[in-house]
Structure 1
């Protein structure tokens, strides 16, 4: 699961017993050598799906981590790209690994996605692999924040993977991981919020609508389809309606 350049079990344990912010500060130097980083295939497929919707002027990578999504935005946005994350350690790695001397102006901002420090200045907001860190009750506020930083008609996009079926080992692995995290958070403080099975597509699309978005799911054809014809991976693309239409 982890290569020789990835974190040791001891380092992972130290991360898991920390807060989310401190945990990612600790993991940051080795994050790109873990399976937690969004695979390049997903990033490339998302970029390909978003390209026809542009061109975009200004983009924001929400919970940017070490900057993989910023690199996607750099190929889609003409003027500026911003990465925001609450982990100083992740931002430090992002600053070092992402080239900012070519393409649109790049900025890095330390901030909480639940209280974004921006006005409505973005045409595109993306996020990759961060939603497990938000409890379901936090989604209305999170999506409202994203809506508040988008210009009318701007897009909010993020990939989703089809959940494994109960007949697959992956289903039980994710179920077990979430159960372990719930026990950990019941017994240890501060909590470390990271769940794989709480971000349900139907609920998410409903919350996006209530936050003032018009949302759709676009299949990512590079990942094929399941036996029932449903896509194995998709891209949620939500368009920000004007405040008057969203009311």
Structure 2
């Protein structure tokens, strides 16, 4: 059942039909008090005529994003239901405006104050300069996303401070349990043993480095080009008493020269590299790895139904979330690793785990909304709400996935440690994540039986 009163809401409905080719399956309430009600549907709140003006000048994802981030547009009710409405349309068209049809609405647009000069973009919108994926521009892109306040990320991510896909041993596991299980899963796949050297590429706030040093007795070098991450990770290492085992550097992976390392982890970092740079990325990691050493490349991938990835300067993710970020299909990641001379020995898809992770992050954000706004900005909190809820739907809808690719640098003849059968890393990871004594001094030095055991043994 649909009811409406005349006014701005009627104009929004008409613009929706022009953009989508079908009625908007959401309730609408506008600044002038008019509304269009769809029973049981979330409400799109148009707080200012400027929201429609943004759509007139940028009729698509960018205009909608600017309206939402600025607060000119809001969502009341289930954010997932609101963001999934395109899936309920007869087709999934690209948002566009027919200029001739728009001209016929000039009278109502003028009367309601919609027409006027283009509004300035919200300050949260990224505008990068320089050569794409140069060292300087990459630092600016990373700073835009990560250097917005460690306290904000602590609220969003929880105590683990892990900003990548968790590993849920069961759907009811807490986010902290799932993140600990993921860290242990990575360590077991890398077959970490006491005394090894581990390179953590894109180490974030140091959680994997801390886990690997404390539980497996390895020496860890973590690199990140985020100043905020490097500062907090270094502080966390000192507070854990692991400064002799863990070094955190504010450094680009291309600048690391002190190999070889026994193992390399790259978790949620390859998405920032760019397609053109992926071969050089794989070659650099190959050069830094000792013969017989292992690399775990954990990265988001475009779904099989997606077309070629061409960075869209007008997309919400490009302007507000990951400037210069690029997603490649799994096949591309496997190909570049193999072409660099690495042998791919295991691939595990974690798509459903990332959907659960994103929903857990949204829950953290919603529970701490007032603090999130205080620690960042209203616009920044809105960016993350839109980004994470949309990401959960994208993973659930198979539009994107995430994969762990384990590769080995071939060693000398006879030094072949690739297992004959696929190890049950998942079961070992769950037990390792919850075994008693892992926080003890013996556990921190890698002295526990599980830490020293061969992960290929069931």
* TM-score after normalising by structure 2: 0.40
Q: Is the 8 A contact 1:45 1:220 kept in 2?
A: no
Tell whether 2:180 aligns with 1:37. Answer: no
| Distance change in 2, residues 1:176/1:60 (3 Å) | closer
Partner of 1:125: 264
Alignment of 1:165-184 (within 5 A): 180=315, 184=319
Aligned with 1:114 (options 254, 274, 284): 254
3-state SS, counterpart of residue 125 of structure 1:
strand
Partner of 2:147: 26
| Distance change in 2, residues 1:207/1:119 (3 Å) | same
Aligned with 1:84 (options 223, 242, 245): 223
- The structure with the largest strand share of the pair is 1
| Distance change in 2, residues 1:180/1:24 (3 Å) | closer
Q: Is the 8 A contact 1:81 1:106 kept in 2?
A: yes
Shift of 1:160: 4.4
Tell whether 2:55 aligns with 1:55. Answer: no
2: CA distance between counterparts of 1:243 and 1:21? 38
Shift of 1:217: 2.9
Shift of 1:70: 1.5
Listed as ranges, the gaps of 5+ residues in structure 1 are 1-8, 186-190, 225-231
- Structure 1, residues 55-95: CA drift from partner, whole Å, max 9, x if none? 26111110112112223422564241111011222100212
Q: Is the 8 A contact 2:210 2:246 kept in 1?
A: no
Listed as ranges, the gaps of 5+ residues in structure 2 are 1-68, 71-121, 129-139, 167-177, 354-400, 414-458
Aligned length: 216
Shift of 1:139: 0.7
| Distance change in 2, residues 1:60/1:165 (3 Å) | same
1: CA distance between counterparts of 2:123 and 2:271? 18
1: CA distance between counterparts of 2:344 and 2:211? 21
CA RMSD of aligned residues (A): 4.0
* TM-score after normalising by structure 1: 0.69
2: CA distance between counterparts of 1:221 and 1:164? 13
| Distance change in 2, residues 1:104/1:233 (3 Å) | farther
Where does structure 1 differ by over 6 angstroms across 4 or more consecutive aligned residues?
174-178
Tell whether 2:370 aligns with 1:212. Answer: no
2: CA distance between counterparts of 1:31 and 1:221? 23
